[in-house]
Amino acid sequence: MPDSPTPPTPPPAPRPEPDAVWRVAVPVPLPRLFDYRPADGAAAAPGDVGRRVRVAFGPRELVGVVADVGAADPDAPAPKPALAAIDDAPLLSGELLDSLRWLARYTHAPLGEVLATALPAELRRGEALPDTRRWGWRLTEAGATALPSLRAGRPRRLAERLAGAAGGAEDEGQLDAAVDGWRAAARTLAERGLAERIELPAAAPLPASAGPALNPDQQAAVDAVVGAAGGFASLLLNGVTGSGKTEVYLHAISDCLARGRQALVLVPEIGLTPQTLARFRARLGVPVHALHSGLSDGERARTWAAALRGDARVVVGTRSAAFVPLPEAGLIVVDEEHDGSFKQLDGIRYHARDFVLVRGKALRVPVLLGSATPSLESLRHAHDGRHAHLRLPARAGVAQPPRVRVVDVRKRPLEAGLSPELLAAIGAALAADGQVLVFKNRRGYAPALLCHDCGWTAHCPRCSTPEHGTAMTVHGGGRRLQCHHCGTRRPVPDACPDCGGLALQPQGAGTERIEEVLAQRFADVPVLRIDRGTTARRDALEQALAGFGTQRGILVGTQMLAKGHDLPNLTLVAVVGIDEGLFSADFRAPEKLSQLLVQVAGRAGRAARAGEVLLQTHHPEHPLLATLLAGGYGAFAEQELALREAAELPPFAHLALIRAEAKDVEHARAFLRAAREALAQVAVPGGGLALNGPLPAPMPRRAGYLREQLLLSSADRRALHAALDAALPAINALPDARRVRWSLDVDPVDLY
């Protein structure tokens, strides 16, 4: 150490510290913590961080989380006491709390709102952490001795039951189901020292079945994941549909369990089917905890609590499962990592895949991303070596890749959008006892209602501007109009409101109309429609498909059918109405369309029967289709990556989008102009931050609000975040910030 010319200054004399306070993250849209004195007059201790507390916030009572413990601000008015501490011990701690702090910084959102998003609703509302341990009852020795002399009645009947229980004790859940009024009887016995409540050991292991022997590609992938255990690694499992990716996950998870660690599996919203869960349960030999939007708040909180206690060894869930505590983490899997449902579109706009990559790093565990159609973001990382690239190029077992044929429908007569060739192919597949899937990504009867006399179209009154009409979808067999953006409904008018003519006609075809036509044409087979209209509830889809079985027949559906269900007898997939996707202005449209086409095509011929895919289009020569057909998704992705790089678009640039909407468009514009000004002032000259806007959103009006946006982009992620960090205080303080509804979306996926 170099000599210092002056003697070191002595440490400052200890001053009396002002009392430490809780610095609480509260779920309000203000980017700061709020000071409170501890509830019970106790001293605030560093160990309080992560406890939930109830606090008075203005006129409201809120549940917050102690985010820090420190000295009270001497200049601020003395902090009020918190109303109550909810948890005795921190609910959020360690890696999860650290990762959530990272997420708050990355999304530039208040920590309190991020924590509220991460917690299951019951815990967010301040309810106690549910007890997920198994409790049971057994007789004491005194109880066994006294049993013969007990008076007849409920306590005696319960005592007899407990005496005969397998293992000498009975589960409370079982008693609930089998014995009315057992709790009062148990209390009577316990008061006399005859019975006692005990914690039961965790459920015994379930029988696990073995899967098929892995092929060499699968084995290599499993070896790579298992070899990475013990540290952070990110691996992209790029395997064609039906190549056996799920088998790779199952082997990697088994290894993780054998090492005594927990595994988390994220799946897309439509991928978490009872079929998937049953497969995991049958193979892993441990309870598999599901987490999805179809569960009650209580069930969600229980799974979260079980994961926190380390009792849940395998959690399979949709987007929000990215927030489960993993105190003994060993592996994180993201199935169909390209899926759009991993991105939250409102509130805290996080991306579950990206968030678990951050968590995997902090937890020092491998993160395995699987897809047949990887996102361009993940493919780029695989190319530049950030993700290990594992490939499964062929279908597993006996299944063969489906044959794809393009049907040119130019100048062909169409019936509900279906060409004669397509109808003939459906007939042939049915004649050979096969199942047919007709895929159309439009629900409803028809996408629009048009006046054939004057050209008037039914537009949504709340989602249209004079320059930009949003068509209402025809429903109810042609009788109702509905807006898919704001929910507005109205009957189809008797006559054209513009010219009074009676020539109103549904334009184009949605799933409902296709179903109608097919049911007439192929009256001797069942036709089942699957879309959000018919199967709003999660289990409704399952039941419908189970009832359909493997008999010959026709399924008509939207992308709900693109994933998750093995349909072994499906021999023909007919894809209609993709043409609008070929010409969308959204730079991600080609990627999304290619993923959808490849995934839907992958439904065909997944078992022993060969599959065929028909792609009906008015643009058979479109380069995207040509590339996909000749070289598959891989060839498309390479081309698209080159285009994105040339255009300086993601994943070669980083985006953030500030959206603003107001009844008066001038308010939204003025706010964004001021936001732009604030950003321009803090941006480093030559730092490469591009500001684009304010511009009308691609959908310039929705539900009565006019929508504008400001797009930030930079090749340098840090420059983008630095500018936001520096400018957001000023933007938050703008007078217009309270007059408009605005939001910041980092890494937006949809620029709508």
Binding site for ligand ADP (CB under 6 A): 212-215, 218, 239, 241-247, 396-397
Q: What's the rounded Cα separation, in Å, for the pair 557 and 576? A: 11
Comparing CB distances to Zn ion, the nearer of 173 and 487 is 487
Angle of CA points 749, 751, 752, to nearest 5° = 125
Please state, as a whole number, how many other Cβ atoms lie within 10 Å of the Cβ of residue 405: 13
Report CA dihedral (663, 664, 667, 668) to the nearest 10 degrees.
Answer: 60
Q: 456 touches which of ligand ADP, Zn ion, none (CB within 5 to 8 A by kind)?
A: Zn ion
Least Cα distance to 54 among 97, 87, 98 occurs for: 87
Comparing CB distances to ligand ADP, the nearer of 74 and 216 is 216
Q: 254 touches which of Zn ion, ligand ADP, none (CB within 5 to 8 A by kind)?
A: none
Comparing CB distances to ligand ADP, the nearer of 177 and 213 is 213
542 class by beta-carbon count within 10 Å (0-12 exposed, 13-18 middle, 19+ buried): middle
Q: 485 touches which of Zn ion, ligand ADP, none (CB within 5 to 8 A by kind)?
A: Zn ion
Tokens 């039951």 sit at which residue?
161
Instruction: Report, in Å, the least distance between residue 549 CB and ligand ADP.
Output: 17
Instruction: Report, in Å, the least distance between residue 744 CB and Zn ion.
Output: 25
Left, alpha or beta for 648 (phi > 0: left; psi -120 to 50: alpha)?
left
What string of DSSP letters covers 671-730? HHHHHHHHHHHHSPTTS--EEEEEEEEEEEEETTEEEEEEEEEES-HHHHHHHHHHHHHH
Comparing CB distances to ligand ADP, the nearer of 218 and 709 is 218
Instruction: Report, in Å, the least distance between residue 604 CB and ligand ADP.
Output: 13
Q: 246 touches which of ligand ADP, Zn ion, none (CB within 5 to 8 A by kind)?
A: ligand ADP
Q: What's the rounded Cα separation, in Å, for the pair 690 and 670? A: 19
Instruction: Report, in Å, the least distance between residue 505 CB and Zn ion.
Output: 11
Q: Which residues contact 555 (CB under 8 A, 6 or more apart)?
A: 435, 436, 437, 438, 527, 528, 529, 530, 548, 561, 567, 570
Report CA dihedral (472, 476, 478, 480) to the nearest 10 degrees.
Answer: -50
Binning the chain into helix, strand and coil, the percentages to the nearest 5 are 35, 25, 40
Q: 677 touches which of ligand ADP, Zn ion, none (CB within 5 to 8 A by kind)?
A: none
Left, alpha or beta for 320 (phi > 0: left; psi -120 to 50: alpha)?
alpha
Q: 245 touches which of Zn ion, ligand ADP, none (CB within 5 to 8 A by kind)?
A: ligand ADP
What string of DSSP letters covers 332-377? EEEETTT-GGGB--SSS--BHHHHHHHHHHHHT-EEEEEESS--HH
Instruction: Report, in Å, the least distance between residue 268 CB and ligand ADP.
Output: 12
Least Cα distance to 315 among 567, 132, 464 occurs for: 132
Comparing CB distances to ligand ADP, the nearer of 269 and 328 is 269
Instruction: Report, in Å, the least distance between residue 384 CB and ligand ADP.
Output: 25
Q: 247 touches which of Zn ion, ligand ADP, none (CB within 5 to 8 A by kind)?
A: ligand ADP
Q: What's the rounded Cα separation, in Å, for the pair 99 and 358? A: 7
Q: What's the rounded Cα separation, in Å, for the pair 156 and 179? A: 13
Q: Tell me if residue 154 falls in helix, strand or coil.
A: helix
Which tokens go with 744? Answer: 């910041």
Instruction: Report, in Å, the least distance between residue 545 CB and ligand ADP.
Output: 16
Instruction: Report, in Å, the least distance between residue 602 CB and ligand ADP.
Output: 7
Q: 244 touches which of ligand ADP, Zn ion, none (CB within 5 to 8 A by kind)?
A: ligand ADP
Instruction: Report, in Å, the least distance between residue 248 CB and ligand ADP.
Output: 7
Q: 498 touches which of Zn ion, ligand ADP, none (CB within 5 to 8 A by kind)?
A: Zn ion
Q: What's the rounded Cα separation, in Å, for the pair 667 and 705? A: 11
Q: Which residues contact 131 (CB under 8 A, 6 or more apart)?
A: 305
Comparing CB distances to ligand ADP, the nearer of 49 and 396 is 396
Query: What is the largest distance, in Å, between two alpha-carbon atoms of the chain?
Result: 99
Q: 454 touches which of Zn ion, ligand ADP, none (CB within 5 to 8 A by kind)?
A: Zn ion
Instruction: Report, in Å, the least distance between residue 559 CB and ligand ADP.
Output: 16
Angle of CA points 671, 677, 678, to nearest 5° = 90
Instruction: Report, in Å, the least distance between residue 479 CB and Zn ion.
Output: 19
Q: 212 touches which of ligand ADP, Zn ion, none (CB within 5 to 8 A by kind)?
A: ligand ADP
Comparing CB distances to ligand ADP, the nearer of 235 and 746 is 235
Q: 463 touches which of Zn ion, ligand ADP, none (CB within 5 to 8 A by kind)?
A: Zn ion
Instruction: Report, in Å, the least distance between residue 703 CB and Zn ion.
Output: 6
Instruction: Report, in Å, the least distance between residue 79 CB and Zn ion.
Output: 46
**What's the DSSP call for residue 446?**
B
Query: Which residues sit opposite 137 in a β-bridge?
Result: 170, 197
Q: 332 touches which of ligand ADP, Zn ion, none (CB within 5 to 8 A by kind)?
A: none
Q: Which residues form the interface with Zn ion (CB under 5 A)? A: 451, 453-454, 456, 460, 462-463, 483, 485-486, 488, 496, 498-499, 501
Q: 215 touches which of ligand ADP, Zn ion, none (CB within 5 to 8 A by kind)?
A: ligand ADP
Task: Find the radius of gyration of the CA atoms of the chain.
Answer: 30
Comparing CB distances to ligand ADP, the nearer of 396 and 509 is 396
Instruction: Report, in Å, the least distance between residue 667 CB and Zn ion.
Output: 21
In this structure, which amino acid lies at residue 476?
A: G
Least Cα distance to 446 among 517, 509, 364, 518 occurs for: 509
Comparing CB distances to ligand ADP, the nearer of 268 and 577 is 268
